């Protein structure tokens, strides 16, 4: 099944804006949608999700679960997933993960304890991304995994698993999730420690579906052999998608943006702290909790002090890894500039995001210094319209569409259609909110 792919033209012209105003409810969080799709497909019973992500990636997860025996139906704006009761079938063909590293890495953990052989493939970008990071912990549990030079295609042969004590060498929510999904089916207990605490959507989702897991002494602990039951849930609006519009609201003195039903998970909400530090005023209008996830409505505008620079490094870089491109893209307009370090992970995303951010800032006339693990963008600069190369990376296409709102002259985004990977409605919403 595919998502509602919008017909975004391959190249798109972004005209400068005078302000940025309006209200909007964002499509469902991509990270949560992935996890709900996988766990619902694995659980007993039928789960129903409203506001499921419209991006292509979580629909790759749904399609893979369907290929392994789950039943997926669309009921109006609700997606219903009938699970397999913990027994996945060997698929008739390769599990195509499309562009989604989340699908491939997390599902590897789910199928590792199942009977059968599961071969994962994906598009050209996905086959270039590192998969060794999940192979090591899963094999130490007893899984059999074959990679091609550390990359996909990846073959997982289901085996009986034993729980392990795992100290993750990298801060990766996907690696943590793969180990948790395997640990759910292993004998004995599994515990995980991370160098930096990553987003905890998997922990909330597992608990929502009925699994028990505890955090003690900075380690997650979970007993194997647990079963999952279906849930009904509304997926909160996606914070990573909100990042583009939050940054846009910083670019204009009289901006006013209201975002409804936004996911406010504390491991993701550090973005709001950064928006505030850069000069944004954020008002919480409403906050509630569902299945462990906080959902809130916020109002954002730019404070009187103008747009301030920021230094992002260490744990903050890990927490903001998806949002760094758009923060860097608006950096020239800050008073003090933006410095980003400890973000080497950006080089192995859908593209080398550090290199592309540098290339495109320079194409729009900015000075920028590239570092192996980040970049420095001086403040007080002007951007002119130019030609942006998205590298077919959704976050690069969207980040520079935001920078273009304050550029002098029109900007052409090549590969604008990449936005449909995570946010098919992006350009429609951008046109509604940008005041020209």
Domain locations along the chain: 11-28+236-435, 30-233
Q: Is-contact 394 30, C-beta < 8 A?
A: no
- Residue 90 corresponds to which tokens in the numbers above? 């060997």
Q: Is-contact 261 25, C-beta < 8 A?
A: yes
User: What 3-state DSSP class applies to 247?
Assistant: helix
The rounded Cα 128 to chain-centroid distance in angstroms is 18
- Do β-strands 19-25 and 117-121 pair in parallel, antiparallel, or remain unpaired? unpaired
Out of 3.30.70.1230, 3.90.180.10, 3.65.10.10, 3.40.50.720, the CATH code matching 11-28+236-435 is 3.65.10.10
Degrees to nearest 5, angle at CA 346 with 433 and 104: 95
Which parts of 78-216 are beta strand (E)? 78-82, 95-96, 117-121, 144-148, 151-157, 165-167, 189-193, 213-216
Residue 310's closest CA among 300, 296, 323?
323
User: How many other CB atoms are there within 10 angstroms of residue 121's CB atom?
Assistant: 16
322, 373, 389, 431: the catalytic one is: 322
- Residue 352 corresponds to which tokens in the numbers above? 């080398």
**Res 7: pLDDT:** 57
- Residue 363 corresponds to which tokens in the numbers above? 């194409």
Task: Name every residue whose Cβ is closer than 8 Å to that of residue 124 and which is 6 or more positions away in sequence.
Answer: none
Name the strand (E) or helix (H) holding 181.
Answer: helix 173-183
User: Burial level of 258, CB count in 10 A (0-12/13-18/19+)?
Assistant: middle
pTM reported for the whole predicted model: 0.89
Q: Cα–Cα distance between 346 and 348 in angstroms, integer?
A: 6
User: Burial level of 316, CB count in 10 A (0-12/13-18/19+)?
Assistant: buried
Residue 426 zone, left/alpha/beta (φ > 0; ψ -120 to 50; rest): alpha
Given strand 19-25, what is the order of strands in its sheet?
280-290, 293-302, 256-263, 19-25, 434-435
- Residue 95 corresponds to which tokens in the numbers above? 């599990």
Topology match between the domains 11-28+236-435 and 30-233: yes
**Res 153: pLDDT:** 97
**Res 4: pLDDT:** 42
User: How many other CB atoms are there within 10 angstroms of residue 391's CB atom?
Assistant: 19
User: Burial level of 86, CB count in 10 A (0-12/13-18/19+)?
Assistant: middle
Given strand 151-157, what is the order of strands in its sheet?
95-96, 117-121, 151-157, 144-148
Q: Cα–Cα distance between 31 and 61 in angstroms, integer?
A: 11
Out of 3.65.10.10, 3.40.470.10, 3.30.40.10, 3.40.190.10, the CATH code matching 30-233 is 3.65.10.10
Active-site annotation holds for 322 = yes
- Residue 20 corresponds to which tokens in the numbers above? 């940025």
- Residue 414 corresponds to which tokens in the numbers above? 């090549």
pLDDT tens string, the chain, 436 residues long: the values are 334 445 566 899 999 999 999 999 999 999 999 999 999 999 999 999 999 999 999 999 999 999 999 999 998 889 999 999 999 999 999 999 999 999 999 999 999 999 999 999 999 989 999 999 999 999 999 999 999 999 999 999 999 999 999 999 998 999 999 999 999 999 999 999 999 888 899 999 999 999 999 999 889 999 999 999 999 999 999 999 999 999 999 999 999 999 999 999 988 889 999 999 999 999 999 999 999 999 999 999 998 889 999 999 998 998 899 999 999 999 999 999 999 999 999 999 989 999 999 999 999 999 999 999 999 999 999 999 999 999 999 999 999 999 999 999 999 999 999 998 889 999 999 999 999 9
Q: Cα–Cα distance between 174 and 315 in angstroms, integer?
A: 17
User: Burial level of 239, CB count in 10 A (0-12/13-18/19+)?
Assistant: buried
Task: List b or e across 15-28, with b for residues whose CB sees 16 or more CB atoms inside 10 angstroms.
Answer: ebbebbbbebebbb
């Amino acid at each position: 099944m595919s998502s509602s792919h919008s017909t975004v033209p391959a190249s798109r012209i972004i005209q400068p804006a005078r302000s940025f105003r309006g209200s909007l409810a964002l499509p469902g969080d991509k990270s949560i949608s992935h996890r709900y799709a996988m766990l619902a497909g694995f659980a007993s019973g039928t789960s129903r999700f409203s506001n499921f992500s419209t991006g292509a990636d979580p629909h790759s997860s749904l399609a893979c679960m369907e290929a392994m025996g789950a039943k997926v139906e669309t009921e109006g704006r609700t997606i219903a997933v009938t699970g397999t009761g913990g027994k996945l079938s060997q698929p008739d063909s390769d599990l195509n993960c499309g562009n989604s590293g989340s699908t491939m890495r997390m599902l590897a953990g789910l199928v590792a304890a199942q009977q059968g052989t599961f071969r994962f493939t994906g598009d050209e970008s996905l086959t270039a991304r590192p998969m060794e990071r999940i192979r090591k912990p899963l094999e130490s549990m007893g899984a059999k995994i074959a990679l091609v030079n550390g990359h996909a295609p990846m073959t997982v042969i289901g085996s009986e698993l034993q729980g392990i004590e795992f100290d993750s060498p990298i801060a990766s929510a996907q690696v943590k999730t793969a180990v948790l999904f395997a640990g759910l089916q292993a004998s004995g207990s599994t515990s995980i420690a991370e160098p930096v605490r990553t987003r905890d959507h998997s922990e909330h989702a597992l608990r929502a579906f009925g699994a028990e897991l505890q955090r003690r002494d900075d380690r997650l602990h979970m007993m194997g052999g647990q079963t999952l039951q279906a849930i009904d849930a509304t997926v909160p609006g996606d914070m990573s998608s909100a990042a583009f519009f939050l940054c846009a609201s910083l670019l204009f003195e009289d901006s006013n943006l209201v975002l409804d039903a936004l996911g406010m998970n504390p491991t993701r909400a550090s973005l709001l702290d950064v928006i505030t530090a850069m000069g944004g005023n954020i008002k919480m209008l409403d906050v509630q909790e569902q299945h462990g996830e906080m959902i809130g409505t916020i109002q954002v505008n730019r404070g009187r002090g103008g747009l301030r620079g920021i230094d992002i490094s260490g744990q903050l870089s890990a927490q903001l890894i998806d949002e760094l491109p758009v923060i860097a893209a608006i950096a020239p307009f800050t008073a003090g500039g933006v410095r980003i370090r400890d973000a080497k992970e950006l080089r192995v995303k859908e593209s080398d995001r550090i290199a592309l951010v540098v290339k495109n800032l320079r194409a729009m006339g900015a000075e920028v210094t590239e570092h192996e693990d980040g970049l420095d963008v001086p403040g007080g600069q002007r951007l002119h319209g130019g030609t942006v190369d998205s590298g077919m990376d959704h976050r690069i296409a969207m980040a520079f569409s935001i920078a273009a709102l304050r550029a002098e002259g029109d900007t052409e985004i090549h590969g604008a259609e990449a936005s449909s990977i995570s946010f098919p409605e992006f350009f429609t919403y951008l046109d509604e909110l940008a005041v020209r």
